[in-house]
Structure formats: C-alpha cells, structure tokens
Amino acid sequence: MSALMVLFSSLPAAAQSIMPRAPEVAASSYILMDATTGHIIMEENADEALPPASLTKIMTAYIAEVEIDNGNMSYDDQAYISEKAWRTQGSKTFVDVGSYVRVEDLLRGIIIQSGNDASVAMAEHIAGSEEAFADLMNQHAQALGMDQSLFLNSSGLDTPSGDTNLMSARDLMKLARATIQEHPDHYDIYSEREFTFNGITQGNRNSLLFRDPSVDGMKTGWTDRAGYCLVASAERDGMRLISVVMGTASEEARAVETQKMLSYGFRFYETHKLYDVGDVINTARVWSGAENSVELGINEEVYITIPRGRADELTATLDSEEFIRGGFEAGTVLGSVNVTLDDEVLYSGDVVAIEGVERAGWLKRLIDALTLFIMGLFN
C-alpha cells in the first residue's frame, strides 16, 4: 500500500479558538447527538436504564408509523376504543368507550396530548392487546439496538404491581433518530402546538416549541419515579441535534437544561460535509490496463461533526494499492482514506475506482510487466 496525505484546504488555518467545556446539566441522565453523523457531543449516565414515563410513547408512535409506512395500516383506519383504553388514568385524549377513532387522531393524541387512553387504543388496534403490543415494542427496541430498554405497556405509567418501563438516554436518542430519519412523513406532528379532539383542545407539553423556533419535536414525560423528562430535536442552518434529559426537577428545569445543551451544540459544533458520492480524491497509475490511470474516489456522502470553524485543519490520509492492474469494474475498492483532526480519526472509509478499466492486450501487458520487473531490480 502507498500513502498520500491530502489537505482539505490550501488556505491557512485560522487561529484555533478555545473550545469551552460542556455545560453542567441538572439531570439524572442526558445526551446530545448530531443526528446526521451520530456524533455524541456530550453525555452523562447515558446508558443507565431509568423510568421514561411518557417518553415511552415515542416507541408507541414509532410502531404505528412503521405499520403505516409498511402499508399494514392507514390514517383513515378506525380503531375501536375498549373500556380498558377509556379507563386509563393520567393524561388523556378523551376518547369515548365503544366508539371508533381514526388512527391519525390517535397518533396526534399520543404525540401532542400525551394521551394514555390513545396509547392503549393504538396498542390494542395494532396487536390485539396491550400485553402483545409491549412484546412488539421490545422486539423493535432490540432491532434498533436499544439494549437498556424494557417495555411493559404503551403509555409509560407504572403497572398495577408497581413495575415500570425502562429506557436509557442513549436508547431514547436512537429511537428519536430512527423516528426522524426513517419516518419523516409523520415527524411534523411532533411540532404541532395543539390538538383538538372531542371538542377539547390541549396544548403540546413541549414548551420549547413555543420558545425556540429551531425546535420541532419531540416529547415530554413525567411521573413521580421518572421526574421531568424531555426528548427534543432542533435544526439550525442544516444541522440537526437530538437531546435527551431524564430526571430533572421540574417542567421549567427540563426545558432550561435542554436549551443549555442545544445552545452549546449549535454554537460550538458544526455538521461538515466531507465528500459527495463520486468525489475524486486522487489519480492512480494502472498497469496492464486499457487505460494508464484511474480516478480514485468516494462512493457515499460523508458528513462529520467538528468544532465550528476548524474545517481547514482537517487532513486526509489515502492508502491505495501500490500496483493497480487493469481488469476491474467501477466501484472496486482500491484503498482507504482516514480523515483526522488533532490526531483523532473522524472518518475511515473505502476508496473506489470511479470508472472501470479493462485488461490490456497481451503486448501492453508484456511491456508493463517488463517495466515493473526493471523497477523491482532498481528499487
């Protein structure tokens, strides 16, 4: 393999600014992530399994969105409201027992109003019973890599036996990211400030929707055991962040602590695009090929998260095959590239042939073979 170091910019790097330390966050557990890259900007106790209260409903809504997008259910489907759903205590959408409610209205009731009755009704409509739906929730959690989550019901209320659902801040972050990226057609519901059902208008409990125009989701939660919790997502100048706080002291505290995290992430970090699909990063010599050279490039869009203003300090180290012989197709892996900042590897990926190169005829192959032989004698 041969190595080549590439500077991303020929401009002189600006004087490196001091990166302030992350703010103190008054929560039992928290995490902040760049949604595009998956880079964790700050975290504390993010893998501790804690009661999530109504943050549970993000999973309930996620499964409904999966079923809709898979064609197994539609917004216009009518869900029957059982006595169990109707009697469920806590926050309500105020569905009527024995009635039929559109799935779309139930979904809005779950997301905007945090309706426990709507959550049970959705669970029963999808899985036949809330117990069966809880098993489905655990299956989806496993598929999403949510290793510290356990679901017993669709609402997040404590069970009659005193048990409760469990989720970690990192698991909630994974679920929020999947909701945003996998089911974007439904995500706008999380930004709606109020919903009226059965003649009753209720506001969204996420107060950041009313304070910060960049915040467009997601969900609040509270029980005595869980404290005040909030999963939030915001987008500014093409950068999307997801934050999770669990176990804060009050409604105001969960908003303030979340705002601290979002402000820190947006002010001091940026989502930087490294490569587009097909970007050429070098040209390599081809031996015994119909062409004498091949362009080497990237076959995926690549984004990284870096301290704001330091893009000019990035370097890329390219390792490619020392002797590339003709007879390969476009997309063939011919090396790798590592992108670093301050000796930290931010991206490592394959380098591929932008175009294929056919094998040369016998005369050119003979000439190139002799050339390589001679080079080998004198190197």
Burial of 215 by CB count in 10 Å (0-12 exposed, 13-18 middle, 19+ buried)? buried
Which pLDDT score, from 0 to 100, does residue 12 have? 44
Confidence check: pLDDT of 370 > 50: yes
Q: Crossing angle for the helix pair 103-111 and 116-127, nearest 10 degrees? A: 140
Going by the DSSP 8-state scheme, the letter that residue 321 receives in this structure is -
Judge whether 360 and 368 are in contact, CB under 8 Å.
Answer: yes
Judge whether 35 and 231 are in contact, CB under 8 Å.
Answer: no
Residue 54: which of 215, 251, 186, 278 has the closest Cα?
A: 251
Per-residue confidence band for 70, with pLDDT thresholds at 50, 70 and 90: very high
Q: Binding residue per annotation — 219? A: yes
Give the residue with greater pLDDT, 134 vs 374: 134
Among the listed residues 82, 114, 155, 233, the single catalytic one is 114
Confidence check: pLDDT of 37 > 80: yes
Report the percent of the chain where pLDDT is more than 70.
93
The answer to whether residue 286 sits within a structural domain is: yes
Among the listed residues 54, 149, 233, 320, the single catalytic one is 54
Q: What is the DSSP string of 228-282?
A: EEEEEEEEETTEEEEEEEEEESSHHHHHHHHHHHHHHHHHHEEEEEEE-TT-EEE
Evaluate if pTM is beyond 0.85: yes
pLDDT-wise least confident of 6-10, 100-104, 241-245, 362-366: 6-10
pLDDT mean over 279-285: 91
Q: Which amino acid type is present at position 367?
A: I
Instruction: Determine which helix (DSSP H) or strand (DSSP E) holds 335, and give its type and residue range.
Output: strand 333-341
What digits encode the pLDDT tens for the residues 226-262?
999 999 999 999 999 999 999 999 999 999 999 999 9
pLDDT mean over 81-107: 98
Name all contacts of 197-201 with Cβ < 8 Å and 24+ positions apart.
197/93, 197/94, 197/95, 197/105, 197/108, 197/109, 197/113, 198/93, 198/94, 198/95, 198/96, 200/94
To the query of whether residue 161 is one of the catalytic residues in this protein, the response is no
Report the percent of the chain where pLDDT is more than 90.
83
Q: Mark residue 98 as left, alpha or beta (left: phi above 0; alpha: psi -120 to 50; beta: remaining).
A: left
Per-residue confidence band for 19, with pLDDT thresholds at 50, 70 and 90: confident
**Token pair recorded at residue 311:** 């893009």
Residues 158 and 293 in one domain: no
Residues 315 and 195 in one domain: no
Which pLDDT score, from 0 to 100, does residue 336 have? 94
Average pLDDT, the chain: 92
Per-residue confidence band for 372, with pLDDT thresholds at 50, 70 and 90: low
Residues 6 and 50 in one domain: no
The answer to whether residue 86 sits within a structural domain is: yes
Residues 117 and 202 in one domain: yes
Residue 187: which of 177, 195, 174 has the closest Cα?
A: 177
Residue 284: which of 275, 293, 274, 292 has the closest Cα?
A: 293
Judge whether 297 and 318 are in contact, CB under 8 Å.
Answer: no
Q: How far is CA 270 from the centre of its chain?
A: 16
Confidence check: pLDDT of 377 > 50: no
**Beta bridge partners of residue 249, listed in sequence order:** none
Count of domains forming the chain: 2
Question: Of 248, 263, 296, which residue is a domain's last?
Answer: 248
Confidence check: pLDDT of 93 > 60: yes
Q: Crossing angle for the helix pair 103-111 and 56-69, nearest 10 degrees? A: 150
pLDDT mean over 268-287: 93
Residues 364 and 323 in one domain: yes
Which pLDDT score, from 0 to 100, does residue 2 have? 53
Residues 73 and 170 in one domain: yes
Instruction: Determine which helix (DSSP H) or strand (DSSP E) holds 344, and give its type and residue range.
Output: strand 344-353
Residues 184 and 286 in one domain: no
* 89: number of Cβ within 10 Å: 9
Among the listed residues 28, 57, 168, 260, the single catalytic one is 57
To the query of whether residue 168 is one of the catalytic residues in this protein, the response is no
Judge whether 218 and 225 are in contact, CB under 8 Å.
Answer: no
Taken in order 93, 165, 189, 125, is the CA torsion positive or negative? negative
CA-CA distance, 305 to 272, in Å (whole number)? Answer: 6
Which pLDDT score, from 0 to 100, does residue 6 have? 55
Per-residue confidence band for 126, with pLDDT thresholds at 50, 70 and 90: very high
pLDDT mean over 187-201: 98
| Residue labelled with tokens 């506001």 | 203
What digits encode the pLDDT tens for the residues 142-192?
999 999 999 999 999 999 899 999 999 999 999 999 999 999 999 999 999
Q: The domain that contains 77 carries what CATH number?
A: 3.40.710.10
Which pLDDT score, from 0 to 100, does residue 288 have? 85
Give the residue with greater pLDDT, 171 vs 290: 171
Residues 313 and 230 in one domain: no
pLDDT mean over 211-239: 97
**Would you call 16 helix, strand, or coil by DSSP?**
coil
Range of the domain at 351: 2-13+274-378
CA-CA distance, 282 to 334, in Å (whole number)? Answer: 11
To the query of whether residue 114 is one of the catalytic residues in this protein, the response is yes
Per-residue confidence band for 14, with pLDDT thresholds at 50, 70 and 90: very low
Which pLDDT score, from 0 to 100, does residue 290 have? 87
What digits encode the pLDDT tens for the residues 309-330?
999 999 999 998 878 888 889 9
Q: The domain that contains 335 carries what CATH number?
A: 2.60.410.10
Residues 236 and 280 in one domain: no
The answer to whether residue 24 sits within a structural domain is: no
The answer to whether residue 211 sits within a structural domain is: yes
